[in-house]
Amino acid sequence: MNPTITVPTQKTDARLPIAGLLALAMTGFICIMTETLPAGLLPEIGAGLHISPALAGQMVTAYAIGSLSAAIPLTLATQRWRRRKVLLLAIIGFVVFNSITAFSTHYGATLVARYGAGAAAGLAWALLAGYARRMVTRAQQGRALAIAMVGTPIALSLGVPAGTWLGAAVGWRLAFWIMSGLTMLLIAWVLAKVPDFPGAAHDERLPFRHVLYMPGVRSVLGVVMAWMLAHNVLYTYIVPFVTPAGLAGQADRILLLFGVAALVGIWLTSRTVDHALRLSVLLSLAIFAVVAAAFAIGSASPAVIMIGVTIWGLTFGGAATLLQTALADAAGDGADVALSMNVVAWNSAIAGGGLLGGALLDTWGAASFPWAVMGLVAVGFLIAWQARSHGFRPGHRLGHES
């Protein structure tokens, strides 16, 4: 006779703190906008700083290095601080460093400012998921995290093209000043609507190594790396990939389609993350692999590309919610430290996807992308499949409480 697992019941507040969760979503929006804004304005930035567009592109690199290098040490250093204080520190960092970027006429100072903005983003990303979970009851955590993550696909699908248009219309410096102005409004929003929480007591601070070796943590990080590498090989080089189908001139529309589908994916994930997290991850990876196979066979067909991008967006939209929920559940009290590891893994995969995709493009052409995606997704699927005991456990999340 199999034992019956009873899902713990909790008294839940029917009303989610939407205003506070959307403030967290706005923080994520600012992170993505600050990161990607220079990418669409390289000629204008190059002319303004009297450098080549290639050197201007290093503003994106400096930001990424800031996130990678600062996320873990800043998270560890601020474990004992009150949570809203840490969140405001990260947000104020965007005001300061975006303002320096807008004002600077010296390339070196601009790169330092971009590094500082990346460090602020690394701290913010490590904090957001854990913050959203603390604002609600355990039964509401999945939906809360989905709302808090909604700023990312909005920034990628709508914010980045709008920022690029704005920078081209009014100048790249004013675009960064506008980012600083939006962030000032966000500070007032956080103060008004986001509750404060205590940091970890001295005897509750968990060292990095201890959190890393918690059961399930490395499995989830492994899936993060494999899934995001596969995603970024395609996403970074979407223009050369869709060129054989005659869609090179419609890349912006394709990315918009992807972003809208990702928003739908977030909504779907909010409905499944609590009671079917494992199944959602496995299905998302399996469907992404099927889409990659369709791309491998029909990459010259516009219909295959458009339908495939839509389905790909649906599977990707909930990835951040699913993976961060799994990671935070596995880490328990070490969630903030584990989520800082996620920042490093996620950004490493972005950089790695760019490097791997570039190597594949130069060696075998864009037709090789789907095959690489299938291989990487298969690795992620196997890791998730084997992490049945820890990391990606079957059944309802609430049934896993000790």
Closest CA to 37 of 188, 202, 155: 155
Given 203, 238, 263, the domain boundary residue is 203
Q: What is the pLDDT of residues 161-206, one digit of tens each?
A: 777 777 778 888 999 999 999 999 999 999 999 999 998 776 567 7
Q: Is the residue at 6 inside a domain?
A: no
73/133 Cα distance (integer angstroms): 22
Q: Is the residue at 10 inside a domain?
A: no
The residue written with tokens 């799994």 in the block is 326
The whole-number average pLDDT for the span 267-293 is 94
264 has a pLDDT exceeding 80: yes
Q: In the structure, how many helices (H) and strands (E) does the chain have? A: 19, 0
Q: With the C-alpha atoms ordered 218, 345, 329, 126, is the resulting torsion angle positive or negative? A: positive
Please give the helix or strand (H or E) that residue 275 lies within, else none. none
Cα→Cα distances 397→17, 44, 136, 285, 325, Å: 21, 49, 15, 20, 10
Residues 165 and 240 both lie in one domain: no
More confident residue, 200 or 323: 323
Residues 134 and 218 both lie in one domain: no
Which residues, at least 6 apart from 180, have a Cβ–Cβ distance to it below 8 Å?
94, 95, 98, 99, 102
396/370 Cα distance (integer angstroms): 33
240/206 Cα distance (integer angstroms): 45
Q: Is the residue at 196 inside a domain?
A: yes
- Look up residue 136 and give its two tokens: 């609600």
Q: What is the pLDDT of residues 59-113, one digit of tens each?
A: 888 898 899 899 999 988 998 899 999 999 999 999 999 999 999 999 999 999 9
Q: Is the residue at 7 inside a domain?
A: no
Please give the helix or strand (H or E) that residue 247 lies within, else none. none
Residues 81 and 118 both lie in one domain: yes
pLDDT of residue 204: 63
Whole-model pTM: value is 0.84
First to last CA, the chain: 22
Q: Is the residue at 270 inside a domain?
A: yes
Q: What is the pLDDT of residues 335-354, one digit of tens each?
A: 888 998 998 999 888 888 88
Judged by average pLDDT, the poorest of 85-89, 117-121, 197-201, 279-283 is 197-201
Q: With the C-alpha atoms ordered 393, 136, 321, 210, is the resulting torsion angle positive or negative? A: negative
CATH code: domain of residue 291: 1.20.1250.20
Residues 361 and 251 both lie in one domain: yes
pLDDT of residue 17: 93
Judged by average pLDDT, the poorest of 14-28, 194-208, 256-270, 309-323 is 194-208
Q: What is the pLDDT of residues 205-257, one digit of tens each?
A: 778 889 999 999 999 999 999 999 999 899 878 888 999 999 988 877 888 89
Contact assessment for residue 46 and residue 56, using Cβ atoms and an 8 Å cutoff: yes
185/196 Cα distance (integer angstroms): 18
pLDDT of residue 6: 36
Residues 53 and 128 both lie in one domain: yes
Residues 224 and 181 both lie in one domain: no
Given 152, 168, 203, the domain boundary residue is 203
> What domain count does the chain have?
2
Closest CA to 262 of 313, 309, 216, 227: 313
Residues 390 and 256 both lie in one domain: yes
Structural domain including 286 reads 208-400
244/241 Cα distance (integer angstroms): 7
Q: Is the residue at 3 inside a domain?
A: no
Q: Is the residue at 228 inside a domain?
A: yes
Which residues, at least 6 apart from 323, have a Cβ–Cβ distance to it below 8 Å?
220, 223, 224, 227, 281, 342
Q: With the C-alpha atoms ordered 126, 26, 313, 279, is the resulting torsion angle positive or negative? A: positive
pLDDT of residue 209: 87
Contact assessment for residue 116 and residue 66, using Cβ atoms and an 8 Å cutoff: yes
334: Cα separation from own chain's centroid: 20
Residues 102 and 70 both lie in one domain: yes
83-95: buried (b, 16+ CB within 10 Å) or exposed (e) per residue? bbebbbbbbebbb
153 has a pLDDT exceeding 70: yes
Cα→Cα distances 288→164, 179, 254, 297, Å: 29, 34, 17, 14
Torsion of CA 40, 41, 42, 45, to 10 degrees: -160
Residues 141 and 179 both lie in one domain: yes
HSE at residue 283, side-chain half, CA atoms within 13 A, is 15
HSE at residue 192, side-chain half, CA atoms within 13 A, is 10
Residues 131 and 177 both lie in one domain: yes
Residues 196 and 277 both lie in one domain: no
Instruction: Please count the other Cβ atoms lying within 10 Å of the Cβ belonging to residue 12.
Output: 12
- Look up residue 92 and give its two tokens: 């104020």
Q: Find the helix packing angle between 335-363 and 107-134, rounded to 10°.
A: 130
Going by the DSSP 8-state scheme, the letter that residue 158 receives in this structure is: I
pLDDT of residue 401: 54
pLDDT of residue 160: 65
358 has a pLDDT exceeding 50: yes
Given 155, 172, 203, the domain boundary residue is 203
Split at pLDDT 50, 70, 90, the class of 55 is: confident
Average pLDDT of the chain to the nearest whole number: 88
Residues 227 and 356 both lie in one domain: yes
Cα→Cα distances 248→29, 231, 294, 299, 357, Å: 27, 19, 19, 13, 17
Q: Is the residue at 34 inside a domain?
A: yes
